Amino acid sequence: MDPKIAKADEEVQKLISKKRNKSVEDRRVGSEIFDKQTLETLYKLANQGYINVLNGAISTGKEANVLKAVKKDDSFVAVKLYRIATSDFKKMQYYIQGDPRFNIKSNNKRQLINNWVNKEFRNLSRLYEAKVNVPKPIIALNNSLLLEFIGDSEGNPAQIVKNQKPENVDEFFNDLLIELNKFINDANLIHGDLSTFNILNKDNYPLIIDVSQSVVRDHPIADELLIRDIKNIYHEFKKLGSSFSLDTIKNKLDIDLDID
């Protein structure tokens, strides 16, 4: 084994918990993603009672890994961990720069990631307060974001729409547009990466995730992102069998933009 990986594994053992679940999957996640800062962050979160035992991977993405953790009361939480090594700093800087909430000029990558995680936390909080169906944010610390776990009581995570087609596509799409209307008009945010990859199918009702890149509506690129988002879901849901036209979608979203 790569000595660095061996060391990371050793530190996981030392820092996180003696009671840690030693499943094969968990070990794989542990050795791939835990750099020192991440370990220390998880350790702090464990010490403060936010998590007790890590319980395997939900998703291994390009920039972030999502894990499942168990709390002392046996309930689940989702832990999203951003990786310094593979993050797209140019994108992060671009999105953060036009956002009046983040008046920060920094070339420090670690700090940029922390701001990015904070941005996802604040976006989620704002959406949650506007009663948009999103996971409830719990806490952001360094490169880690703790969220309400979306899944069943056994700990099986809800699937993304891409992998689990809704039973009634138009009904689901209509519900999604109700959620998006609140997203845009109540929370005043634009998602920016909306697709069937970032919508969970929770018992045939849509739940929107992955809002780190979401921007405020007066951000210079907000309209461009909104048009892209609408076109994306229009095409994707059409493929799934939806009968909604672009005009219907715009009406349901109460927006007035030229989209062709």
Ligand X SMILES: Nc1ncnc2c1ncn2[C@@H]1O[C@H](COP(=O)(O)OP(=O)(O)O)[C@@H](O)[C@H]1O
Residues 6+ apart with CB under 8 A from 48: none
Q: What amino acid is encoded at 220 in this protein?
A: P
Residue 206 engages ligand X in binding (rule: CB under 6 A): no
List the single partner that 155 binds among ligand X, Mg ion, none, CB under 5 to 8 Å by kind.
none
Instruction: Tell me the HSE value of 159 on the side-chain side, using a 13 A CA sphere.
Output: 8
Q: What amino acid is encoded at 168 in this protein?
A: N
Residue 120 engages Mg ion in binding (rule: CB under 5 A): no
Residue 151 engages ligand X in binding (rule: CB under 6 A): yes
| 193 counts as catalytic | yes
Question: In the range 71-100, which residues lie near Mg ion by CB under 5 A?
Answer: none
> Which residue among 87, 142, 198, 212 contacts Mg ion (CB under 5 A)?
198
In angstroms, the Cα distances linking 226 to 29, 102, 192, 231, 236 are 35, 21, 7, 9, 15
- Give the binding range for ligand X (CB under 6 A) out of 86-94, 153-161, 226-234, 246-254: 153-161
Residue 155 engages ligand X in binding (rule: CB under 6 A): no
| 210 counts as catalytic | yes
Give the span between the Cα atoms of 92 and 33, in whole angstroms: 20
> Nearest distance from residue 86's CB to ligand X, in Å?
11
List the single partner that 97 binds among Mg ion, ligand X, none, CB under 5 to 8 Å by kind.
none
- Quick note: the x/- pattern for ligand X over 96-135, rule CB under 6 A, is ---------------------------------------x
**Among candidates 196, 80, 87, 57, which has minimal Cα distance to 139?**
80
Which residue in 152, 210, 223, 247 is the catalytic one? Answer: 210
Residue 146 engages ligand X in binding (rule: CB under 6 A): no
Give the span between the Cα atoms of 154 and 177, in whole angstroms: 30
In angstroms, the Cα distances linking 53 to 46, 50, 227 are 8, 10, 42
> Nearest distance from residue 209's CB to Mg ion, in Å?
6
- Work out the burial of residue 72: count CB atoms within 10 Å of its CB; fewer than 13 is exposed, 13-18 middle, 19 or more buried: exposed
List the single partner that 113 binds among ligand X, Mg ion, none, CB under 5 to 8 Å by kind.
none
> Catalytic residue numbers?
193, 210
Interface ranges with Mg ion (CB under 5 A): 198, 210
